[in-house]
């Protein structure tokens, strides 16, 4: 065998790791060109709690096929009855989906659901697929997931939401998206089923936008319940007072969503106290890293932590009124002292 022929055989029998990697990337890029429609896109959903169940339901109603996973399977039953397929792990959802959404509780849950090497969603995603985290979570974790997705020839978007249970049910959520802007635009038909998406920047910036949202809400909620407490102690009809201020500068979404609930002693969670404590804790951690002092945020966090100490973490964020009532030894509803009521 000639030296030239031996070299020819060696050339064409060598491994092609670089070429294969390029082929995988090309495949992912081609799949990105496919429009997102009910006929072309399989959707997965992980986390069917208070928010996720309604959000996923809008995708079903729009005609998308849906594969779901929830740690407590019974919480996905409503979606299953409407046509969703229930599977046994986040990885199973990913294997059956082109776009996987997740909305779970804590950053530790996000890490497990997305990055677990055997059962996490990224372990099951095909090249070119997209992972969308709609949990309010740590911006650094969003960047980590984006890097892991890129290594798997996939993409990820951090897209936390604001609007509570009512926004989830009505499909009017505000969605803060971080990641590749082209990917966010491509997913707009899906986001449009749930609300209005706004692109905020690269990986992690969706999470940072949501944290700023939570800081604003926290101080607004403190102002709302303190104003209600003052009106009550001043002898005003609190319901009439809320109606009077609602059309002025003191009007707010928090007043619209929670004022009546507070008066009716409706503390059912549209957004859990324990999740808000988690969010505000992440905000404080971010502020510490920035060298940023936000005393209103710190005060709101402590008031909500006090609700946790009283076993009220499963109530809605409007339960902040209970902390203010305890501080003043009174009850907004009856005007009686807490000791006698």
Distance CA 337, CA 66 (A): 51
Based on the number of CB atoms within 10 Å of its own CB, is 73 exposed (0-12), middle (13-18) or buried (19 or more)?
middle
Q: Which of 210, 233, 253, 333 is catalytic?
A: 210
Helical H runs in 33-176? 50-61, 77-81, 90-95, 107-115, 121-124, 139-151, 164-170
Distance CA 232, CA 13 (A): 84
Q: Does residue 130 contact residue 187 with C-beta atoms inside 8 Å? A: yes
**Tally of CA atoms within 13 A in the half-sphere of 1 that contains its CB:** 6
At residue 133, φ and ψ (nearest 5 deg) are -95, 115
Structure tokens at 301: 């966090």
Distance CA 241, CA 302 (A): 27
Q: Tell me how crowded residue 39 is: count the other CB atoms within 10 A of its CB.
A: 8
**Tally of CA atoms within 13 A in the half-sphere of 29 that contains its CB:** 6
Q: Tell me how crowded residue 41 is: count the other CB atoms within 10 A of its CB.
A: 20
Q: Torsion over CA of 313, 317, 318 and 324, rounded to 10 degrees?
A: 70
Rounded to the nearest 5 degrees, what angle is found at the Cα of 196, between the Cα atoms of 178 and 39?
90
Identify the sign of the CA torsion 112, 113, 118, 121. negative
Q: Tell me how crowded residue 148 is: count the other CB atoms within 10 A of its CB.
A: 17
DSSP, collapsed to helix, strand or coil, labels residue 314 as: coil
Respond yes or no: is residue 253 known to be catalytic: no
Provide the annotated active-site residues: 210
């Amino acid at each position: 065998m000639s030296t030239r022929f031996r070299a020819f055989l060696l050339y064409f029998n060598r491994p092609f790791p670089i070429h294969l990697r390029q082929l995988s990337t090309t495949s992912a890029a081609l799949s990105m060109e496919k429009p997102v429609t009910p006929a072309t896109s399989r959707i997965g959903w992980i986390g069917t709690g208070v928010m996720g169940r309604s959000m996923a339901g809008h995708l079903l109603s729009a005609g998308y096929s849906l594969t779901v996973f929830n740690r407590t399977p019974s919480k996905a039953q409503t979606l299953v009855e409407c046509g969703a397929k229930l599977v046994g792990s986040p990885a199973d959802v990913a294997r059956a989906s082109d776009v996987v959404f997740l909305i779970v509780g804590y950053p530790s849950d996000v890490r497990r659901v997305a990055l677990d090497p055997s059962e996490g969603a990224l372990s099951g995603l095909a090249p070119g697929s997209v992972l969308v985290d709609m949990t309010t979570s740590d911006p650094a974790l969003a960047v980590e997931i984006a890097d892991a997705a890129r290594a798997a020839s996939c993409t990820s978007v951090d897209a936390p939401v604001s609007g509570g249970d009512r926004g989830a049910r009505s499909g009017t959520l505000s969605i803060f998206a971080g990641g590749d802007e082209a990917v966010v635009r491509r997913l707009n038909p899906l986001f449009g089923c749930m609300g209005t998406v706004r692109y905020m920047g690269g990986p992690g910036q969706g999470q940072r936008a949501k944290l700023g949202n939570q800081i604003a809400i926290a101080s607004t909620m403190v102002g709302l319940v303190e104003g209600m407490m003052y009106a009550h102690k001043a002898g005003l009809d609190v319901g009439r007072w809320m109606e009077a201020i609602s059309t002025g500068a003191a009007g707010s979404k928090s007043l619209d969503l929670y004022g009546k609930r507070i008066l009716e002693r409706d503390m059912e969670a549209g957004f859990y106290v324990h999740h808000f404590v988690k969010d505000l804790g992440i905000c404080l951690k971010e502020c510490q890293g920035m060298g940023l002092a936000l005393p209103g945020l710190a005060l709101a966090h402590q008031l909500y932590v006090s609700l946790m100490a009283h076993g009220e973490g499963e109530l809605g964020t409007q339960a902040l009124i209970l902390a203010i009532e305890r501080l003043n030894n009174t009850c907004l509803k009856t005007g009686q002292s807490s000791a006698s009521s």
